[in-house]
């Protein structure tokens, strides 16, 4: 047993030399492109040949005469059968080590690529949300401006409600997901703010039906649809108009419909504005199962969103 242990340890010397030459020198050079691959292969073959010679020298001049005390007769140094045995012995150990190294490099590369994609998606998502917030603020400031010009007594109330909404956007939108009850509360506050501006000229109905108020949803994913109804519906209508909002959540499946009246009387192809384009991209990034239907008819404009909240992606 002792003889076997000593011989196994000693004969590892040429195996270690070839293995670490490939791992520490050849592979980094190939990955960095410092040399041509053909030159690297030639160097590996030369080192391999030298290690086989060292392998045979160790056997003939140490293991057989010293470790085994000539129990096993010494063979010719370059006997074909013993050379083939050395090639297989060294090649197997080195090949296994190189395979594990390449596997580790590949896994590390995939993990790095995954992290880069994650960072890119997070950056894009933050950019889209940062676009949504000023877009909302711009529309609301227009409302306050209109009330101020009319010297309306409701201006102060609108400013107060706006501050509450901005507080929500400042703190809640930094989260990846929020309870849908918070999103619905924010929509209700926004509708109350708009009701002050339009008074009796606009009929607003909001019918939320939620089976699980704690169900998570991406923040501000629904607001752009409601904003769009006010900006391109009520604000462009001279006479009485309406906005009907239906929200139903059942078993994680969300159905959200926003329908508003309009006066221009055309049913042309819809060109999405910043708000709708941003929310569509957010849906693509955050959820795998959704459908978004935009319908432009002669007197109404309708947006229907069917969203599986259980299909949210882990960014």
User: What average pLDDT does range 78-107 have in this prediction?
Assistant: 90
Question: CB–CB of 76/64 below 8 Å?
Answer: no
Please report the DSSP string for 1-35 in residue order. -HHHHHHHHHTHHHHHHHHHHIIIIIHHHHHHT-S
Inter-CA distances, 74 with 2, 52, 87, Å: 20, 17, 19
User: What average pLDDT does range 163-186 have in this prediction?
Assistant: 81
Q: For residue range 24-51, what is the model confidence (pLDDT) as tens digits?
A: 999 888 888 877 888 888 999 999 999 9
Beta bridge partners of 258: 245, 303
Top-confidence residue, 122 or 222: 222
pLDDT band at 155 (very low <50, low <70, confident <90, very high): confident
Name the token pair of 144: 């306050």
Q: Which domains does the chain possess?
A: 2-112 (no CATH), 115-311 (3.30.565.10)
Share of the chain above pLDDT 70, in %: 83
Cβ contacts of residue 209 below 8 Å, gap of 6+?
247, 248, 249, 250
pLDDT band at 110 (very low <50, low <70, confident <90, very high): confident
Outline where DSSP puts E strands in the chain. Answer: 178-179, 202-210, 216-217, 241-250, 253-261, 290-296, 300-308
Exposure string for 112-145, b = 16+ CB within 10 A, e = fewer: eeeeeeeeeeeeebeebbeebeebbeebbeebbe
Asked if residue 270 has pLDDT above 60, the reply is: no
Specify the 3-state DSSP secondary structure of 259: strand
pLDDT band at 296 (very low <50, low <70, confident <90, very high): confident
User: What average pLDDT does range 216-222 have in this prediction?
Assistant: 87
Cβ contacts of residue 269 below 8 Å, gap of 6+?
296
């Amino acid at each position: 047993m002792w003889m076997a242990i000593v011989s196994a340890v000693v004969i590892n010397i040429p195996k270690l030399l070839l293995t670490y030459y490939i791992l520490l020198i050849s592979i980094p050079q190939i990955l960095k492109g410092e040399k041509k691959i053909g030159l690297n292969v030639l160097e590996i073959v030369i080192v391999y040949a030298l290690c086989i010679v060292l392998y045979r020298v160790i056997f003939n001049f140490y293991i057989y005469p010293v470790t085994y005390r000539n129990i096993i007769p010494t063979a010719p140094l370059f006997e074909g059968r013993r050379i083939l045995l050395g090639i297989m012995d060294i090649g197997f150990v080195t090949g296994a080590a190189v395979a594990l190294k390449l596997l580790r490099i590949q896994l590390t590369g995939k993990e790095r690529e995954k992290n880069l994609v994650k960072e890119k998606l997070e950056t894009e998502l933050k950019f889209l949300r940062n676009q949504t917030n000023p877009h909302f603020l711009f529309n609301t400031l227009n409302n306050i401006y209109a009330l101020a010009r009319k010297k309306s007594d409701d201006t102060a109330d609108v400013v107060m409600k706006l501050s509450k909404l901005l507080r929500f956007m400042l703190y809640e939108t930094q989260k990846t997901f929020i309870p849908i009850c918070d999103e619905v509360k924010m929509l209700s506050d926004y509708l109350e703010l708009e009701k002050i501006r339009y008074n009796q000229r606009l009929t607003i109905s909001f019918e939320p039906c939620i089976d699980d108020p704690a169900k998570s949803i991406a923040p501000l994913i629904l607001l752009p649809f409601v904003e769009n109804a006010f900006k391109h519906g009520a604000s462009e209508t001279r006479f009485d108009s309406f906005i009907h909002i239906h929200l139903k959540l059942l078993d994680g499946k969300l159905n959200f419909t926003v329908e508003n009246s309009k006066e221009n009387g055309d049913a042309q192809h819809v060109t999405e504005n910043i708000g709708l384009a941003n929310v569509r991209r957010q849906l693509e990034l955050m959820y795998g199962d959704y459908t978004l239907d935009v319908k432009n008819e002669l007197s109404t404009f309708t947006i229907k969103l069917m969203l599986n909240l259980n299909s949210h992606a882990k960014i």
